């Protein structure tokens, strides 16, 4: 989700925005999630260190965005492709062993993609795919995981909910006024 919202969303909260384009911009935008990921995968011995291939990560973010935007059913084929491409497979690594879903020695971008893709696949696989949602407000493509009891959340947050409400109110007034 952080990957998608940071690297693959061009409209947020009613404004267009340029996703980060250079490697250093992308790395800065992804922190602190990136630092956390490095600690848990590279430092634990589960993924190769070295520079992060941010271009490949941005491509993966676009693919993962489809799962949120097109609905879980439409996104399944693309998600399966992504899991195969990144050789996502459950395995234990490190000491003490931690469960991960990228092959041992995967580079950081590959490891992040395999782990994120697996997380989405598990959500869909237990019948909760409808909770992977994209904001319905105009001018906002942010994605989120809907934790409401009946999976009824429509907006990324209060600002978008308020904007959408105001727009609906204006639309009602316009249709009522001759
Ligand atoms: Zn929104």
pLDDT at 124 over 90: yes
Alpha carbon 134 to its chain centroid, in Å, reads 10
Which CATH architecture fits 2-132? Orthogonal Bundle (1.10)
pTM exceeding the 0.75 threshold for the entire prediction: yes
pLDDT at 175 over 80: no
- The SS3 assignment for 133 reads strand
- What is the arithmetic mean of pLDDT over 89-103? 86
Distance 136 CA to ligand 1 centre (A): 7
- Predicted confidence at residue 152, as pLDDT, reads 94
CA distance 4 to 6: 6
- Predicted confidence at residue 92, as pLDDT, reads 87
Distance 8 CA to ligand 1 centre (A): 14
Distance 113 CA to ligand 1 centre (A): 24
pLDDT in tens, 31-71: 999 998 888 777 777 777 778 999 999 999 999 999 999 87
Domain residue spans in the chain? Answer: 2-132
Q: Higher-confidence residue: 21 or 47?
A: 21
Distance 138 CA to ligand 1 centre (A): 8
pLDDT at 177 over 80: no
Residues with CB in 5 Å of ion ligand 1: 135, 137, 140, 142, 156, 160
Distance 12 CA to ligand 1 centre (A): 6
Percent of the chain with pLDDT over 90: 67
- What is the arithmetic mean of pLDDT over 117-138? 95
Distance 155 CA to ligand 1 centre (A): 5
- Predicted confidence at residue 105, as pLDDT, reads 81
Distance 124 CA to ligand 1 centre (A): 22
- Predicted confidence at residue 178, as pLDDT, reads 60
pLDDT in tens, 128-159: 999 999 999 999 999 999 999 999 999 999 99
Distance 47 CA to ligand 1 centre (A): 34
Q: Higher-confidence residue: 41 or 3?
A: 3
Distance 85 CA to ligand 1 centre (A): 31
- Predicted confidence at residue 30, as pLDDT, reads 95
CA distance 16 to 141: 10
R_g of the chain, CA atoms, integer Å: 18
Kindly provide the residue ranges of all beta strands, DSSP E only, lying in the chain, ordered along the sequence: 11-12, 15-16, 91-93, 98-100, 132-134, 143-145
- What is the arithmetic mean of pLDDT over 83-109? 88
Mean pLDDT of the chain: 90
């Amino acid at each position: 989700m952080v990957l998608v919202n940071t690297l693959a969303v061009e409209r947020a909260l009613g404004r267009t925005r340029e996703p980060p384009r250079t490697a250093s911009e992308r790395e800065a935008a992804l922190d602190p999630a990136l630092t956390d990921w490095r600690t848990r995968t590279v430092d634990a011995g589960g993924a190769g260190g070295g520079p992060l291939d941010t271009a490949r990560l941005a491509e993966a973010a676009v693919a993962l965005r489809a799962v949120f935007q097109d609905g879980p059913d439409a996104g399944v084929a693309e998600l399966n492709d992504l899991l195969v491409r990144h050789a996502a497979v459950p395995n234990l690594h490190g000491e003490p062993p931690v469960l991960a879903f990228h092959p041992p020695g995967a580079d950081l971008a590959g490891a992040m993609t395999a782990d994120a893709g697996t997380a989405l696949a598990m959500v869909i696989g237990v019948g909760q795919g409808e909770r992977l949602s994209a904001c319905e407000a105009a001018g906002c493509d942010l994605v989120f995981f809907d934790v409401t009891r009946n999976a009824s959340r429509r907006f990324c947050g209060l600002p978008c909910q308020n904007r959408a409400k105001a727009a609906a109110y204006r639309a009602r007034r316009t249709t009522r006024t001759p």
